[in-house]
Structure 1
Amino acid sequence: MDLADGLLDHPYDVYRRLRDSAPVHRVDGPDGSPAWLVTRYDDVRAALADPRLSLDKRHAGEGGYRGFALPPALDANLLNMDPPDHTRIRRLVGRAFTPRRVEQLRTPIRQTADRLLDALGPHGTTDLIAAYAAPLPITVICDLLGVPGPHRRDFRAWTDALVAPDPARPQAAKDAVVAMLGYFTRLIAAKRAEPADDLLSDLIAVRDEGDRHTENGDPPARDGADRLTEDELMSLAFLILFAGYENTVQLIGNAVLALLRHPHDLAALRGEPERLPAAVEEFARYEGPALLAVRRFPTEDITLGGVTVPAGETVLLSLSAANRDPARFPDPDRLDLGRDAAGHLALGHGIHYCLGAPLARAETQIALAALLDRFPHLALAAPDAGPDADLRWRPSMRARGLLALQVTYGEAPPS
């Protein structure tokens, strides 16, 4: 079957039918190549942690993968790596995204959220994605990396072109890759010449000098094992920017939409804002930022859901289907802010669990808290036109996010 059939408009209906009929299906994947789609929670969770399922494209069988090809300088990233390279690079950058480090970022994140809301004025109508959900994470991740302000709008356009290519502009994604590669080349050169207090300068130091501290604080042996290659440095900067922006803008936008469609839950959350952290987990389960995990390739013949998948073929793990599996989450198509959503797979599982998950959670919690504090009368701009009226979703079989979300807002009920 063609995975695109109905998936863009009604993904959960499609995945429900597939999940109910069989745990694994032979499909045509997002790139048009044949793949095996896994839909049930237990199978997806086990597969996410199975070391026999490689992210390295070198394990793809001949003719079995036709995905968009990044240049080597952007392709040497964690989404294409297995241990030991994955372990080495994740350890080098992981300290920037620890819960403790993220806690230190909460105040500047809230300040950024408040500035964006100040710019909206006391009342009106706006596209909340363009005005708030998108600029908040791009500002946070660019501040963390050290990307100067004037170029941040470019980064939004480039990442949008890669996540949801416009069929009418087939060259746009390739142009975005060329632009990002050129920009990062210049930025890394500038920070080599004048290092700053930011993550990219730290990564350049790791590339050029080796990791300066071990886990216990002692200087490491200078044998090159803790260094990055130049391609790894460039690719890591690209991935941090891309994933740090993309996952969070979709999580914020989807969460706001869910609340506006469920006014009782919106009112309850206003009255008990301490429930926000748990609510964000339910938003992630209910409508997370990704429909599919990154494709995987078995390094040997493997059994998934009772189906034998040959080595080298493409495996797609449906995070959204797993998160709505009634065998794991009762009444899964219902938003339930009282639900214990722990164990959802929206941000992955296993060694490839989203590196920026603590930051994405914090940004979403803060974004929602600031929005609800500021505008007690927030509503969809066309609430009576139907549940899907005026909603434009990214044309992507992998990402689940809104292109726009028109809302009315204000300190008093709209007239």
Structure 2
Amino acid sequence: MSEQSQTIVHDVPVNVAQQADPYPLFERIREQGVVQRVRLNPTLEVWMITGYDEAVSALTDPRLSNSPVKVNGLAEEMAHQERTNVLMASMLVADGDDHTRLRNLVSKAFTARRVDRLAPRIQEHTDAFLDAFAARGSADLVTEFALPLPMAVLSELIGIPAEGQPDFARLAVGLIMPPNTPERLAKGARARAELVEFFEPLIAARKAEPRDDLLSALCAAQAEERISDRELLSMAILLTLAGHETTASVIANGVHALLRNPEQCAVLRNDPTLLPGAIEELLRYEGPVSRGVARFTVEDFEIAGVTIPAGEMIIVGLAAANRDPARYDRPDILDVARREVPQQLAFGHGAHFCLGAPLARAEARIAIGSLLRRFPDLELATPDESLARREGILRGMATLPVTFTPQK
């Protein structure tokens, strides 16, 4: 292990996702080396990978686990989590055959072909939300568009009734997993308890009267003993939270980035054929995961000349890797016509690549394309510096007030 990597510790604050511009911090870390020791809170030091090539390597290396169970000093906390945290039964923390089994149960719902068939319905939902505020000449694109659109799509796909839905955006903190601060773990536990209370009777209803939705398909798999009761509940919660919050952030972050870069917004508006590539660029430039995704060493692990001992936590910095100057020309510049080859990592890479990425891409493409086409003079209604970001582990806007010429 390099002496420099042993001695230099950078602070990556818990609220880094809420910062207006966290990217200079990631660049300062990378300047010291693409694998560095960082501090996430006063008691938690981990390793962080900020290089693109190194991130891709780590995300495909079988020596790194998704499960925090074997992290040094966490035995007592993890025993508690395995008893009480329903997401510990999800593919979020699964490896190997268990991960493959759980992923295969739902992967058909998110294929590119299935998403293509959903596109007309996504467009219908999009048009309905835009119609609702078109005549007003103003809107909050977070609460009136970016948040409700993916929830409407997911509700139909998974089979979640519109009536009696909890506030899934508020309950996204249920995704918080160890290691973390006791306060944040407790907040996540309260959110999960509320979600369990919502989903348990819904699952019972689908077992009694199956429908043509993903939840019914999972219930059928449980009846065939391909998935346990706890795994079924965990899957329903994970798909809803991750699919909703991530896509809402992609849409809101993308619109915000375009409105902050009006010349790029004009390029995209004038040439809609650029839209698919522009979505990839927006994901690279301002994706929904700021700090990164966690992996855990089950044996000594060497990367970029640094040896990380077994039982350590690694943060694979997706946002940092997406702005690595070794892979991208002018990485801090938004360019909707960017032609570079490297695939952005906003949705991860490898076996745990985001299952819902095709759906999120389609929703973002339809939502942003429709918004720009419908409201050609769309602009921010308040100074950019006054806008706040959502609390939580993902990077998303808390509010995005805009104005435009009212439409009848």
Change (3 A) 1:32 1:353: farther
Question: Structure 2: which 5+ residue stretches go unaligned?
Answer: 1-9
Deviation at 1:32, TM superposition (A): 4.6
Amino acid at match of 2:301: I
Moved more, 30-39 or 277-286: 30-39
**Contact kept in structure 1, 2:174 and 2:192, CA below 8 Å:** no
Which residue of the other structure, out of 188, 202, 217, is the alignment partner of 1:202?
217
CA distance in 2, matches of 1:5, 1:163: 12
Matched, 1:132 2:127: no
Deviation at 1:25, TM superposition (A): 1.6
3-state secondary structure, aligned to 1:34:
strand
**Contact kept in structure 1, 2:318 and 2:345, CA below 8 Å:** yes
Which residue of the other structure, out of 27, 46, 59, is the alignment partner of 1:35?
46
Is the helix fraction higher in 1 or 2?
A: 2
Q: Deviations over 1:126-158 (max 9, x none)?
A: 211001000001111111110000233522332
**Contact kept in structure 2, 1:146 and 1:198, CA below 8 Å:** yes
Match of 2:285 in 1: 286
Matched, 1:400 2:399: no
Change (3 A) 1:66 1:273: farther
Moved more, 124-133 or 156-165: 156-165
CA distance in 2, matches of 1:34, 1:238: 29
Moved more, 94-103 or 373-382: 373-382
CA distance in 1, matches of 2:14, 2:206: 46
Amino acid at match of 2:399: A
**Contact kept in structure 2, 1:319 and 1:345, CA below 8 Å:** yes
Matched, 1:356 2:356: yes
Which residue of the other structure, out of 150, 158, 164, is the alignment partner of 2:171?
158
TM-score, normalisation: structure 1: 0.88
Deviation at 1:61, TM superposition (A): 2.1
CA distance in 2, matches of 1:65, 1:268: 55
Matched, 1:184 2:199: yes
- Matched length: 391
Which residue of the other structure, out of 15, 20, 44, is the alignment partner of 2:31?
20
3-state secondary structure, aligned to 2:334:
coil
Match of 1:115 in 2: 128
CA distance in 2, matches of 1:65, 1:44: 30
3-state secondary structure, aligned to 2:165:
helix
TM-score, normalisation: structure 2: 0.89
Change (3 A) 1:304 1:65: farther
**Contact kept in structure 2, 1:54 and 1:296, CA below 8 Å:** yes
CA distance in 2, matches of 1:293, 1:14: 13
Q: Deviations over 1:74-93 (max 9, x none)?
A: 32111101011001111111
Change (3 A) 1:118 1:352: same
CA distance in 2, matches of 1:24, 1:406: 39
Deviation at 1:125, TM superposition (A): 2.4
Match of 1:221 in 2: none
Change (3 A) 1:22 1:132: same
Amino acid at match of 2:98: D
Moved more, 66-75 or 4-13: 66-75
Matched, 1:318 2:317: yes
CA distance in 2, matches of 1:171, 1:293: 21
Superposition CA RMSD, Å: 2.6
Deviation at 1:375, TM superposition (A): 1.1
**What is the aligned-residue identity percentage?**
43
3-state secondary structure, aligned to 1:297:
strand
**Contact kept in structure 1, 2:302 and 2:308, CA below 8 Å:** yes
3-state secondary structure, aligned to 1:151:
coil
CA distance in 2, matches of 1:401, 1:241: 17
3-state secondary structure, aligned to 1:296:
strand
Which residue of the other structure, out of 5, 11, 14, is the alignment partner of 1:2?
11
Moved more, 2-11 or 12-21: 2-11
Question: Structure 1: which 5+ residue stretches go unaligned?
Answer: 210-223
Match of 1:253 in 2: 252
CA distance in 2, matches of 1:197, 1:203: 11
Amino acid at match of 1:231: R
Residues 86-125 of structure 1: matches in 2 within 5 Å?
86-125=99-138
Amino acid at match of 1:390: S
CA distance in 2, matches of 1:410, 1:348: 38
Match of 1:220 in 2: none
Change (3 A) 1:99 1:5: closer
Moved more, 269-278 or 69-78: 69-78
Q: Deviations over 1:161-218 (max 9, x none)?
A: 75699x9999654332111011111110011111111000011001102xxxxxxxxx
**Contact kept in structure 2, 1:64 and 1:313, CA below 8 Å:** no
Match of 2:345 in 1: 345
Amino acid at match of 2:217: D
Deviation at 1:292, TM superposition (A): 3.3
Match of 2:332 in 1: 333
**Contact kept in structure 2, 1:76 and 1:235, CA below 8 Å:** yes
Moved more, 269-278 or 326-335: 269-278
Match of 1:390 in 2: 386
Match of 2:6 in 1: none
